[in-house]
């Protein structure tokens, strides 16, 4: 149990340290590649670790203004708490319902784009729309005419 706990704490810390070291490269292309590597590391995590990693990534000075940083920030806003398939995520005006399966599909799509490299604007637009579709309508909204 203690070994598993140490491992679960060590892996995210190691990913963040390696990625932060890579961010100090001089070349903007290598900085963007380091951001992509760091975001890939966030996507393999789960639960609170994933939420924390996405938040740190989207707050990172080097990455936050990149195409990856903007998508990661929006994805972090959809990061749910723990519960059923339909979970509540923090939002500016209170909790919102999100579709867990949709978020998993989005994470898979984002991982594929990260592997391919810097995405085209059309790809970012498609990912943005896909993420918007992960917001589930509340029961109150469904019952309104």
Over residues 50-101, the pLDDT tens digits come to 988 998 998 888 888 888 888 999 998 887 544 333 444 455 555 567 888 9
Q: How far apart are CA 90 and CA 82, in angstroms?
A: 12
- Other C-beta atoms within 10 Å of 46: how many? 9
- CB burial of residue 144 (10 Å; 0-12, 13-18, 19+): exposed
Please tell me the total count of domains within the chain.
1
Rg (C-alpha) for the chain, rounded Å, is 16
Q: How far apart are CA 46 and CA 38, in angstroms?
A: 15
The pLDDT, as a whole number, for residue 62 is 87
What range does the domain containing 76 cover?
A: 2-143
Q: How far apart are CA 56 and CA 59, in angstroms?
A: 5
Q: Could you tell me the pTM of the whole model?
A: 0.66
38 and 15 Cβ atoms separated by less than 8 Å: yes
């Amino acid at each position: 149990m203690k070994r598993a706990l140490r491992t679960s704490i060590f892996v995210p810390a190691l990913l963040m340290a390696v990625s932060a070291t890579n961010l100090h490269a001089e070349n903007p292309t290598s900085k963007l590649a380091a951001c992509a590597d760091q975001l890939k590391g966030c996507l393999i995590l789960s639960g609170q670790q994933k939420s924390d990693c996405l938040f740190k990534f989207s707050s990172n000075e080097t990455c936050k203004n990149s195409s990856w940083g903007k998508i990661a920030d929006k994805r972090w806003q959809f990061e749910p708490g723990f519960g059923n398939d339909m979970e509540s995520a923090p939002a500016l005006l209170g909790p919102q319902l999100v579709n867990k399966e949709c978020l998993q599909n989005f994470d898979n799509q984002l991982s594929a784009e990260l592997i391919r490299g810097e995405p085209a604007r059309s790809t970012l637009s498609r990912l943005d729309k896909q993420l918007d579709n992960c917001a589930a309508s509340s029961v109150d909204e469904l019952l309104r005419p």
